[in-house]
Structure 1
Amino acid sequence: MLSQSEELADREVAQDIFSKLSRSRSFYGFLAADIMASDYTYNHKTHNISYGETITLEKNKSIKRALELFALGYLGQARQEWYLATSKLKERERIVAANLALRWGWHKASIQTMIQLKSWDSLTERFPVAHKDIFTRYARELDIPISWSLAVARQESAFMPDAKSSAGARGLMQLMPSTAGIIARSEGIKYSSRNKLLEADFNIRLGSHYLRWMLGRYDNNRILASAAYNAGPGNVDKWLDADADLDVWIETIPFKETRNYVKNVLAYSAIYNYLLEQESPFIFSGEKEQFGNRKPSEKVSVQTHLSVKGV
């Protein structure tokens, strides 16, 4: 049994930990900010790029060739050319290149260039609001948060329309052809070939429907729905534990890939809310209520082995 002074000391230590943690742009940073009732930390760095800098870089023969290949739809060759070209650029030129790629709608190139540069705070380039009109249309039609569907696509493929996984998933939202077929038949959507999944609009449409299915299955809980999108609803049904707090539940997901996936998608959702200038809590109250029944003072524990790596 702890004395009053010991309990007070424990609370002060916890407050200090949460306060420091809340200043990081990460899953646990956003979670700590909620506990502290403080603003989320984004550390967003913007780059003022002049017209002259852009024009100069566009004249670079290798960059020009990469952009032409991208425009013609030779995406694999374009990526090879782009990565080779940007590897020879100076730091400022790479920043200009990432912004240029964004202007061309080449989201993967923008993301990858900033990752190679380790420019982690360049959120505009690292988290492009890709295909905004398409994501907005299906988010409104299906009543899902656009920040969440963007976050899923950012995690799944970094907005590569031609992405193909070793397991056979295809396109922006990495849909398995068999799953895509089930969705299409159920929703009355014509699905003639798996190559249709490489079309951005079609892939986002089916992916958004699948997100809506998972939200419906798990009472509008993005945490469970995100896990199901990655690992399958059958696995999530087996993992359900109403007694576990949400952070504990996530950290005890048996699949490491899914653990990281859920934390990334939730953190990316917060970043997209920020970029879209949407005010939204990191975790909705209804989502929290589906986890654990302990008092607020007992709800969250920070263990030293947990990764608090920023995004």
Structure 2
Amino acid sequence: MRNTDLDFFSGKNRSGLALGLTCKLSIQSLVIATIAGCGNTPSEASDEMFREAFRVSSSGNVALLDQYQHAMQDSVLSYYPEYWKLNQNLALQPSATIVSFARRYPQSAMAEKLSADYVEEKVRAGDFASAAPVLSYVTNADDAEACAIAQVRARTGDSLVLAEFKNKVWLTTDSQPESCNGLARIMLDSPLMTSQDRKQRLFTMLRAGNSGHAFAMANKMGAPLSLTQMNQIQANPMGYLLSAPKVIAQDHAYLIFALGRLADSDLNNAISMVDRLAQGVPEDVQKYLYRTVAYIGGTTVLKNNFNAVLPSYFDKSYGFPFSPEEAEIYARQSIRFGKWEGVIRAIDAMTDQQKQESRWKYWLARASEQRGDAQSKAYAQQVYQKIATQDDYHGLLAKARLKQNYSSFPEAYQPTTSDFSRLTKDVHFQRAFALRNIDAPENYINREWNWAVRQAYLKHDDGLILAAAKRATDMGWYDRAIYAADRTEKRHNYALRYPTPYQSTVVNYSNSVSINPAWAYGLMRQESRFNVGARSHVGAGGLMQIMPDTARLVARQMGESYDSGALSNMNTNIRYGTYYLSMIQGQLNGHPVLATAGYNAGPNRARRWQPSIQNLDADQYAESVPILETRDYVKHVMENAMHYGVVLGQGNQSINRLMYPIPQQF
């Protein structure tokens, strides 16, 4: 284990006193450093050399990396110098070299990353043949990597891969990796794409204003568009629409493009014109004109607020195929306004993969329940029963629909001696703990940890995962402990999933401002996973991720002077965070769902999203939050709060305790 009295990289002990002997390692001083206390064994000393090798990794000094690789041969981290060396000129490496690395370090985190990065590099260079031998060594691809792999497969003879990715990239208008755009370009020439597929892509790209993609698609369809005309429409969509022709296919394309541009800049004018524009055009064009206004209105709520006409426009567009994006917005807008038949139609239009998600199963049941016939109500109950076996947000909602409470968790699995023995021998977890022990860069630590959890998950080894989570918890490494404990399949330990560090502080400060400590814990778990030093990209800090401006406001409200360093203090961060949560709850009708949304997105936005006419069920409010981050945030905090209610012994739990109807704005 690491010498706990020594901070190796600063050359100081934990009290901050400079040591008489500097513990900066060099190749020649490895043995001396071990004796001096920079590591208790040669293996630990060579672990400590990781940071020095890392500093060299960007210098281009291959010879020195070779020396570090030799010196670190007793370390579980020994593959890093070689990885850095290969990564310096990755695009120039022969595929055999990458394959050799992957075979010597099988199923390892950095072999996975090296292989995936190599495939992406070769795809960017158009060298698909060199990438092909490496594909089998990429087993956990992200979106960009998956699209790069699919390009290689398509270019080396596997044309059926295009069908696998059709729903993923063909109709996507949100920003996506360039490798996915490249895959979509390959699809343009594929005979697997039907004339209907091509028309749908053309209309979708026109609606989104993706003129380049639309231009390419129209050319492939034999109905070329003019970029000059599209630029003129972009500059003045209203002027074009006032006298737009509707005769030929190109006219119809320009019409969709112009209406989309108008809806994006002036939704109300687009709504006022769509009925007239939809007259005298083919049925599929008519449907897509309504789709265009409905979709753009549904995705610009931050600018335009909610509009009750949009679900009906989606209804008018039904019959023309929906993209996955469009189906979700259709469902969400219909949920917001309680248009339950629209919800059913929207979910019916989704892909099979979407339909399998618990959220859409839940909403299909909610919509079916509104029908008057006994069969639909019975179906809803059956779906709720299935979803209620899960302990996630939608499972808790389903429990509430069934009027089921819960006050305890399944019996906690305690890791055994055998589990800990496997943990000690597991090279993936060894690497993660070794990196943690030497304060390596966080991205390397987390990559190795997450990879280790994944490998244990693939082996269905819940015991190993929970042993790792327990060891991490004992170290105060809560974020990775939670990551691990969340991923067990059959054996669970909710104390490790929902830890309660700083319990007396959290409970006392929560009670002092009259908020539920379970809610405070639920928010804190989502914000920082109990990492005191957590910092967001926008400057929020600490356990409750408080923005500096918010901290200044809270300090002023509490009659204190603001200290920028105070947010790093556990006590101050929790005190400020619970006070601010209570403050915005008071501003937002005392409602915990509104306050949770306000904590993430700001209280003014949460207030704007309240219904304007009548009260709205809290699950409808949460699902219609227009910011994805905030939408997911509210769901996770509600879920966490319920489970912390059990952890803190608060008796029977129902998510309805927090998720009661949202009052209308006044």
Compute the TM-score of the two structures, normalised by the length of structure 1.
0.77
Letter in structure 1 aligned against 2:403: A
Letter in structure 2 aligned against 1:237: R
Letter in structure 2 aligned against 1:217: Q
Q: Does the aligned pair in 2 maintain the 1:30–1:40 contact within 8 Å?
A: no
Q: Does the aligned pair in 1 maintain the 2:588–2:607 contact within 8 Å?
A: no
Rounded to whole Å, the distance in 2 between the matches of 1:256 and 1:22 is 24
Alpha-carbon spacing, 1:58–1:132, altered in 2? closer, same or farther (3 Å): farther
Deviation at 1:135, TM superposition (A): 0.6
Are 1:282 and 2:655 matched, yes or no? yes
Give percent identity, aligned residues only. Answer: 26
**SS of residue paired to 1:99:** helix
Partner of 1:98: 469
Partner of 2:533: 162
Alpha-carbon spacing, 1:18–1:178, altered in 2? closer, same or farther (3 Å): same
Deviation at 1:212, TM superposition (A): 0.6
Gaps of 5+ in 2: 1-370
Deviation at 1:251, TM superposition (A): 1.4
Letter in structure 2 aligned against 1:29: G
Question: Matches of residues 1-311 of structure 1 in structure 2 within 5 Å?
Answer: 7-40=373-406, 44=410, 46-50=412-416, 77=441, 80-81=444-445, 84=448, 91=461, 92-114=463-485, 121-193=492-564, 195-241=565-611, 242-279=614-651, 280-284=653-657, 288-291=660-663
**SS of residue paired to 2:539:** coil
Alpha-carbon spacing, 1:57–1:191, altered in 2? closer, same or farther (3 Å): farther
Rounded to whole Å, the distance in 2 between the matches of 1:52 and 1:81 is 25
Rounded to whole Å, the distance in 2 between the matches of 1:56 and 1:102 is 18
**SS of residue paired to 2:544:** coil
Q: Does the aligned pair in 1 maintain the 2:485–2:492 contact within 8 Å?
A: no
Rounded to whole Å, the distance in 1 between the matches of 2:642 and 2:467 is 26
Letter in structure 1 aligned against 2:631: R
Aligned length: 281
Rounded to whole Å, the distance in 2 between the matches of 1:116 and 1:21 is 18
Gaps of 5+ in 1: 293-311
Rounded to whole Å, the distance in 2 between the matches of 1:249 and 1:183 is 28
Deviation at 1:124, TM superposition (A): 2.1
Deviation at 1:96, TM superposition (A): 1.6
Partner of 2:303: none
Rounded to whole Å, the distance in 1 between the matches of 2:445 and 2:466 is 17
Deviation at 1:118, TM superposition (A): 7.1
Q: Does the aligned pair in 2 maintain the 1:218–1:224 contact within 8 Å?
A: yes
Q: Does the aligned pair in 1 maintain the 2:509–2:575 contact within 8 Å?
A: yes
Letter in structure 2 aligned against 1:272: Y
Q: Does the aligned pair in 1 maintain the 2:415–2:464 contact within 8 Å?
A: no
* Higher Rg: 2
RMSD across aligned positions (CA)? 3.3
CA offsets 1:62-110 (integer angstroms, 9 cap, x no match): 67756655xxxx5x65784576478569644442221012123221131
Rounded to whole Å, the distance in 2 between the matches of 1:116 and 1:22 is 18
Alpha-carbon spacing, 1:20–1:183, altered in 2? closer, same or farther (3 Å): same
Letter in structure 2 aligned against 1:174: Q
Q: Does the aligned pair in 2 maintain the 1:169–1:176 contact within 8 Å?
A: yes
Compute the TM-score of the two structures, normalised by the length of structure 2.
0.38
Rounded to whole Å, the distance in 2 between the matches of 1:120 and 1:167 is 38
**SS of residue paired to 1:283:** helix
Deviation at 1:269, TM superposition (A): 0.5
Rounded to whole Å, the distance in 2 between the matches of 1:251 and 1:118 is 27
Rounded to whole Å, the distance in 2 between the matches of 1:94 and 1:108 is 14
Greater Cα offset, 171-180 or 42-51 = 42-51
Alpha-carbon spacing, 1:140–1:243, altered in 2? closer, same or farther (3 Å): closer
Rounded to whole Å, the distance in 2 between the matches of 1:237 and 1:20 is 34
Deviation at 1:28, TM superposition (A): 2.2
Rounded to whole Å, the distance in 2 between the matches of 1:116 and 1:281 is 23
Higher-RCO chain (CA-CA 8 Å, sequence separation at least 6): 1
